[in-house]
Amino acid sequence: MTEQEVRRYLRQMKEDDSEQAFHSFYDLCYDRLFRIACYYLKREEWAQEVVLDVFMKLWQLRDKLPAVADIEDYCFILTRNAALNYLEREARRPTLSADKLPESPHNDASPEDALISEELFAHYVKALDRLPQRCREVFIRVREEKQSYAEVAEALGISTNTVDAQLQKAIARLKEMLAPYL
């Protein structure tokens, strides 16, 4: 990356709010920032997420960037700090034990299929977490724990009609939240 090119893009981003200049800056810097993030995170998907967050921050700070003396060091520090913060958040996040993870129905699936499956599962878990507590509880008991409506109704102290309504509500919301990934 040449200092002149970068400075030109930074000026265009500041003065013209030029998205084209930002895209050019992105193309010029992405690979390097990605490698930095990979170095700290050791996982490509995490690194991609961190680098995209860094570029979002750079776009938000576009008015101040031309004043930065060494933009290369600045981007490096932003990426390093974002990666370290990401690692810290991941370390605090509770993990599922291996015996609670669903087993793959096909052991001969390709690595690409496995990755897509893992990605979809991650989106499913996030979507499930966004459901209201009662919906989530009913959905998990009926769909994952295979309890009957009557068992769930008795355990939660609600009617079977409420169990059905909460389950339908959960399914509708999950379909809506997961639609972009299916």
**CATH number for the domain harbouring residue 36:** 1.10.1740.10
Query: Same domain for 53 and 88?
Result: yes
Lowest mean pLDDT among 109-113, 131-135, 153-157: 109-113
With a cut of 60, say whether residue 34 has pLDDT above it.
yes
**pLDDT score recorded for residue 166:** 92
Q: How many residues are recorded in the chain?
A: 182
Residue 104: per-residue pLDDT: 46
Q: Into how many domains does the chain fold?
A: 2
Residue 84 CB neighbour total at 10 angstroms: 13
Q: What was the pLDDT predicted at 57?
A: 92
Tokens of 32: 């390097």
Range of the domain at 116: 98-181
Q: Of 40-44, 88-92, 95-99, 155-159, which range is least confident?
A: 95-99
Backbone angles phi and psi of 135, in degrees to 5 = -60, -45
In terms of domains, do 104 and 53 share one?
no
Distance in angstroms (rounded) separating the CA atoms of residues 175 and 182: 9
Q: Is the dihedral of CA 135, 136, 141, 142 positive or negative?
A: positive
Instruction: Please report, in angstroms and rounded to a whole number, the separation of the first and last CA atoms in the chain.
Output: 38
pLDDT tier, 65 (very low <50, low <70, confident <90, very high otherwise): confident
Same domain, 7 and 88: yes
Q: What CATH number is attached to the domain comprising 123?
A: 1.10.10.10
Confidence of residue 115 (pLDDT cuts 50, 70, 90): low
CA pair distance 102, 7, nearest whole angstrom:
50
Residues 50 and 131 in one domain: no
C-beta atoms surrounding 64 within 10 Å = 12
CA-CA distance, 37 to 159, in Å (whole number)? Answer: 51
Radius of gyration of the chain (CA): 23
Q: What digits encode the pLDDT tens for the residues 7-24?
A: 888 888 888 888 898 898
Q: What is the pLDDT of residue 17?
A: 84
DSSP 8-state secondary structure symbol assigned to residue 123 = H
Domain end among 73, 92, 111: 92
Report the candidate in 45, 76, 84, 40 with the shortest Cα–Cα distance to residue 58: 76
Q: What is the mean pLDDT of residues 48-61?
A: 91
State what percent of residues in the chain have pLDDT above 90.
23
Looking at the structure, tell me whether residues 141 and 66 fall in a common domain.
no
Residues 76 and 115 in one domain: no
